[in-house]
Structure 1
């Protein structure tokens, strides 16, 4: 037996005051019980029990050791309970990384809603697009936009797409009318800087746009502010500008020409024994992304 098992056996012997009763409770022989106690005494070089053929008593050292054993065993039981509950009850700190392309406001509002459903989870949000070792970076899950992902030990789950739309402010379009995609290159462009590969067009008849960007950022909320101010033309996730288009603050340009969707992936370190907080967040964010 290992030391911990010997401690469990010894504690039960003290509580029952009987080798025979302990053997019955553990469904083993009295010889096994006696050997466990002897192993502890040999290891400690201290007699824990005084025993004869007719009587058993606990020594002073045995009483002290018993109290210490009970504390250790109770801590172990508590640790096992807490570890087991992590699989069934969402609790603890959830470390989430989200790419900038989806928008800081989007992921922040999503995490606020998730926390309302799971108040025992504390959220640690980081903005980025890492596709490397999540364990080394101390992350539970990462939401990334990429067409291809490098080989890694991470589990990768495609969770959908994010539609893009080309927009500009009414004031900008009054100064610079636009009717054909080929004319975009002559305008002030406000493109997204992608941390990873930009989305594939996937069509043979697509139009390549090139020009001199007036404002570049990897933060779509910053780009939206620039576009609202009339700085130029840019492509943004549709969910970020839907309300602005409806209110007239931004105008959708060339809607008949579809832009490539962003490919969205969830990354997490392991598929085995997922904490409840990671499992419930994955389910929640999948549903939220479906609404985009």
Structure 2
């Protein structure tokens, strides 16, 4: 039996929820669908479905197999579509994930230009400071600021942004500004994403200083609001403080010790085939973000 037919039958049974519904979708008989699945199970040597008179559910092995096979068949459809419509404009949905503040400042302003250049592309832009699981959340392209630890992703560095340590004039009116990083142990430091060791550089090389404070958050916007309100000192990437660095109440400190930089990277799931629409959007951000940040 044709292997591709077996795989198509398997995916359809999973998504239709049963053999009868799958048979209707593929214009096949229920017995034909059952034979295809049985042949696939025999070839693999595992049971893919738990069958009963009322329901058909995936086994653990079946779930793992579905998770692996589904993207491969989607890539085959993508490849067929690109060849058959190579003379047409690239279209389709691209799901993008970006950090909230960086996305608001640097990604959102570029969206109108991207859509004007490629009007048949659809974008789903999610802004969150949480690190999204690319495969589980169906993310086509992620934009991240900082180190990337993802073995199942392709990472392309676009540019870099330095770190900056800031507080408000109201805060420093009550607390003497730090002159060396070690002074931070006596200050209220606002912690982002549980980073309680802040990195600095000096004549003797790189070092870190443990910090603590009465406000922590996984949202950069929250930490920035706390700094602007005079609660304490925060550390940010310079790219996330484009407008706020010109704020009359914001003061930078420890500038001579701020040697560390953060990479701005584009990340996409590691797979054999990358759809044309994802490649196009990726290339757009490679060019525009490197010019902007």
Superimposed CA distance per residue, residues 82-120 of structure 1 (whole angstroms, 9 cap, x where no aligned partner): 764479733221101124573544333333442343332
Which residue in 2 is equivalent to 1:139? 139
Would the aligned equivalents of 1:121 and 1:277 in 2 still touch at CA under 8 Å? Answer: yes
**What is the rounded CA distance, in whole Å, between the counterparts of 2:150 and 2:198 in structure 1?**
15
SS of residue paired to 1:124:
strand
Would the aligned equivalents of 1:88 and 1:276 in 2 still touch at CA under 8 Å? Answer: no
Which residue in 2 is equivalent to 1:190? 190
Shift of the 264–247 alpha-carbon distance from structure 1 to 2, 3 Å rule, reads closer
Would the aligned equivalents of 2:145 and 2:263 in 1 still touch at CA under 8 Å? Answer: yes
Which residue in 2 is equivalent to 1:241? 241
1:129 is the counterpart of 2:131: yes
Larger Rg: 1
**What is the rounded CA distance, in whole Å, between the counterparts of 1:135 and 1:210 in structure 2?**
35
Shift of the 146–87 alpha-carbon distance from structure 1 to 2, 3 Å rule, reads farther
Which residue in 2 is equivalent to 1:226? 226
Count of paired positions: 211
Which residue in 2 is equivalent to 1:161? 160
Most deviating of 216-225 and 204-213? 204-213
Matches within 5 A, 1:61-100: 84-85=84-85, 89-100=89-100
Give the superposition deviation at 1:288. 3.5
Would the aligned equivalents of 1:87 and 1:275 in 2 still touch at CA under 8 Å? Answer: no
Provide the TM-score with structure 2 as the length reference. 0.60
Matches within 5 A, 1:113-128: 113-126=113-126, 127=128, 128=130
Query: When you count strand as a share of all residues, which structure comes out higher?
Result: 2
**What is the rounded CA distance, in whole Å, between the counterparts of 1:101 and 1:218 in structure 2?**
12
Would the aligned equivalents of 2:158 and 2:264 in 1 still touch at CA under 8 Å? Answer: yes
Would the aligned equivalents of 2:189 and 2:234 in 1 still touch at CA under 8 Å? Answer: yes
Would the aligned equivalents of 2:142 and 2:267 in 1 still touch at CA under 8 Å? Answer: yes
**What is the rounded CA distance, in whole Å, between the counterparts of 2:188 and 2:87 in structure 1?**
52
Shift of the 139–237 alpha-carbon distance from structure 1 to 2, 3 Å rule, reads same
Matches within 5 A, 1:37-52: none
RMSD: 3.4
Shift of the 148–142 alpha-carbon distance from structure 1 to 2, 3 Å rule, reads closer
**What is the rounded CA distance, in whole Å, between the counterparts of 1:255 and 1:164 in structure 2?**
9
Shift of the 223–85 alpha-carbon distance from structure 1 to 2, 3 Å rule, reads farther
**What is the rounded CA distance, in whole Å, between the counterparts of 1:141 and 1:95 in structure 2?**
6
Which runs of 5 or more residues in structure 2 are unaligned? Answer: 3-78
